[in-house]
Amino acid sequence: MHRVELEKPDGRKLYLYSREPIAKGIQATNPPHEPVIGHSHLRWHPLRGEWVAYASHRQNRTFLPPKEYSPLAVTKSADFPTELPAGKYDVAVFENLFPSMSLSATVAPELAVPTQPGIGSCEVVVFTQDPDTSLGALSLDQVYLVMQVWAERTREIGKQEKIQYVLPFENRGVEVGVTLHHPHGQIYSYPFIPPVVERMQEMQTQHFKKTGEVLLASLRKEEEKAGERMIVSGKHTSAFLPICARYPYETWIAPKRSVPYLYDLSNEELLDFARVLKTTLMKFDRLWNKPFPYLMALYQAPTDGKAHPESHVHLEFFPPYRTKERLKFLAGTELAAGMFVNDSLPEEKAKELRDVQVEDFS
Amino acid sequence: MHRVELEKPDGRKLYLYSREPIAKGIQATNPPHEPVIGHSHLRWHPLRGEWVAYASHRQNRTFLPPKEYSPLAVTKSADFPTELPAGKYDVAVFENLFPSMSLSATVAPELAVPTQPGIGSCEVVVFTQDPDTSLGALSLDQVYLVMQVWAERTREIGKQEKIQYVLPFENRGVEVGVTLHHPHGQIYSYPFIPPVVERMQEMQTQHFKKTGEVLLASLRKEEEKAGERMIVSGKHTSAFLPICARYPYETWIAPKRSVPYLYDLSNEELLDFARVLKTTLMKFDRLWNKPFPYLMALYQAPTDGKAHPESHVHLEFFPPYRTKERLKFLAGTELAAGMFVNDSLPEEKAKELRDVQVEDFS
């Protein structure tokens, strides 16, 4: 992997990645924009015991612009600069123009609840220069490169002393609120371990102390053994619908070896992970022969400077459809009580995905 | 409030409520349907530490039928029975034909994770016989009656030894996945304290032990004092956007007196609660002169037989819109990490709602 670090005219960072050496002389660009004024701040929610971010400068962010104005397209003319410069590279990462959190945030209002500056980071990961494709349709090499980028960014951002957690994710599809169609994901980082992850860490730590085993490794092994919820079984990686899936097509992808971070995997393991990821994504899109929307999250250990022998890097997909035509809405019981109702059995949905045939690309 | 308890031909319970005595001889009805086979079961999610319900018998439930086939309309002809019989009554409650949980569930599969039968209940609350109105457009008397019904059902369901929590809620609008347009809500009950409520209980208990005060009461008083997030200030009830709102138009309605359950309020207090609720709902619909979708949850104390001096009954609204045209989607940070990003300040959104004028109906 080759990498170049640049600075945009407005001061934001841009990182270019490529399988080939990147030519010198690429100039970072950015779309013309009004100054982005103000940082976010966090307020403590005393009833739920969690932080909420307020980012009112995000209200007027770009929303489904016509294709020719996509800020993620490569710049074609100096008169219409976008977020991506012209040049030969494969993947790009840049700081979001409208970040929910920022490492330079310093101010928080004094209120009746605890507050703090919205410290953190929000990066955009552009998966390819091609605006009309998707992560799963990229070549295996390119998916592997995207995963290398997730690994590298996690390591780099996680080095920041203020950062406790790094979350690479992708929202795919208008059904989950995507505002730009160019294939891309995001990386958020947090000044604390966010509540969902905190709960997972608790559960993993309990299990590790009690059994000496890594919870995710136990679950993955159990799934390989049972077989009925398996989707793809790779040499070093498993994709399956977990036995406790909350979404009908919820899918997890986990390496066989327990490591806390993506960057702990060997090249061979990461390539196999990329292969299983691409296979899974191809199955998603082939299932109904239409793009399959999802929220994808890459869970790793906190970057809090501690050892995490209980943690096991893995991907989770939360797809919003429950059948080809019907969305699963999160409503009363899911959002107000926190108990998911799944109208289907993981065993049935796993079979659907397992039975989808995709072409051999390896 | 007058009340009649009936049994449908298929064995489900039906409760009719009215301000006037209900004539004898009303026969409970139900739409013709295939037998609903099977109960739900719960599986333990070891990584999130929460129960997930599997209710695969719900897959084929009624979905946006044409108006003339609404199962919530009053039966007009014996040839086409609905869930509601003809007759003079104001509010009806019946057991959902496709329940996510059921008090008669007894079976759970043996799996690699802990399981239990899907014990609980799912009731439908029909707010009015009029299919073309909404909760906020009902007369004050009728809103008051609906609240009396929530109180009565909470008391009755909560008496069941297996039930630890009762949650009345309303999903309003196709934006939050509503499948039937007739004005109605639901009441779910759970065999455990669900995770969101469990967390709230922890926070309330901590606050109570530390300060001797009820957390919700402290927050409500703070909001009345600050004023800038107030929406409606009633004699016994406050409606406000909380200082820690996660949704742009999130609204809470809380009585001034701290009581754990709705049925603990006096008639005068409950009537004032109904007045503030109706005023708030009218403001919602007047804001953009279109029906304002939301998820509404009535939080009360657990029905676990313990005293709950830390608890304070209140309503929370989670509206999905962030502006007139734009939805707030729950995506990467909200669903995968559990940190909400709110693109607006509660102070601004509260002013919008406070400034909406509604007619005097009292």
DSSP character string of A205-244: HHHHHHHSS-HHHHHHHHHHHH-TTEEEE-SSEEEE--TT
Alpha helices in chain A (DSSP H): 140-159, 195-211, 215-226, 267-287, 346-355
- pLDDT of B147 reads 98
Could you tell me the fold of the domain covering B196-355? HIT family, subunit A (3.30.428)
- Compute the distance between CA of residue A331 and CA of residue A320 in angstroms, rounded to an integer: 13
Q: Which residue of A has its CA nearest to B222?
A: A112
Given an 8 Å threshold on Cβ–Cβ distance, is A297 in contact with B336? yes
Sheet hosting strand B165-172, strand order edge to edge? B2-7, B13-18, B91-95, B121-126, B184-190, B165-172, B294-299, B314-318, B251-255, B237-240, B230-233
Domain B2-194 has CATH 3.60.15.10: no
Q: Which residue of B has its CA nearest to A348?
A: B56
Distance of residue B92 Cα from the nearest chain A Cα, in angstroms = 20
Distance of residue B362 Cα from the nearest chain A Cα, in angstroms = 30
- How do beta strands A165-172 and A121-126 pair? unpaired
Given an 8 Å threshold on Cβ–Cβ distance, is B194 in contact with A339? yes
Question: Among B100, B176, B318, whose Cβ lies nearest the Cβ of A341?
Answer: B100
Given an 8 Å threshold on Cβ–Cβ distance, is A203 in contact with B326? no
Structure-token match 């099977």, residue found: B38
Short-list A312, A216, A294, A221, CA closest to A251: A294
- List CB contacts (< 8 A) between B38 and chain A: none
Could you tell me the fold of the domain covering A2-195? HIT family, subunit A (3.30.428)
| pTM of the entire predicted model | 0.96
User: Architecture of domain A213-355 in CATH?
Assistant: 2-Layer Sandwich (3.30)
- List CB contacts (< 8 A) between A177 and chain B: 327-329, 331
- List CB contacts (< 8 A) between A326 and chain B: 63
Q: Which residue of A has its CA nearest to B58?
A: A343
Q: What is the DSSP letter of A132?
A: T
Q: Which residue of A has its CA nearest to B216?
A: A47
Distance of residue A359 Cα from the nearest chain B Cα, in angstroms = 30
pLDDT, tens digit, for every residue of B321-341?
A: 999 999 999 989 999 999 999
Q: ipTM more than 0.85? A: yes
- Compute the distance between CA of residue B310 and CA of residue B212 in angstroms, rounded to an integer: 9
Q: Which residue of B has its CA nearest to A330?
A: B176
Residues of chain B whose pLDDT is less than 50?
63
- pLDDT of A63 reads 46
Given an 8 Å threshold on Cβ–Cβ distance, is B47 in contact with A165? no
- Compute the distance between CA of residue B106 and CA of residue A338 in angstroms, rounded to an integer: 23
Sheet hosting strand B340-342, strand order edge to edge? A115-117, A41-45, A50-54, B340-342
Q: Residue B228, Cα to own-chain centre: how many angstroms? A: 27
What stretch(es) of chain B map to CATH 3.30.428.10?
2-194, 196-355
* Contact of B172 with B134, CB cutoff 8 Å: yes
Q: Residue B47, Cα to own-chain centre: how many angstroms? A: 28
Interface test with A, best of B343, B344, B348, B351 (most A CBs within 10 A): B343
- pLDDT of B274 reads 98
Question: Residue B112: which region, alpha, beta or left (left: phi > 0; alpha: psi -120 to 50)?
Answer: alpha
- List CB contacts (< 8 A) between A58 and chain B: 341, 343
- pLDDT of B80 reads 87
What stretch(es) of chain A map to CATH 3.30.428.10?
2-195, 213-355
Given an 8 Å threshold on Cβ–Cβ distance, is A333 in contact with B49? no
Given an 8 Å threshold on Cβ–Cβ distance, is A344 in contact with B47? no
- List CB contacts (< 8 A) between B51 and chain A: 339
- pLDDT of B62 reads 53
Residues of chain A whose pLDDT is less than 70?
58-68
Given an 8 Å threshold on Cβ–Cβ distance, is B56 in contact with A207? no
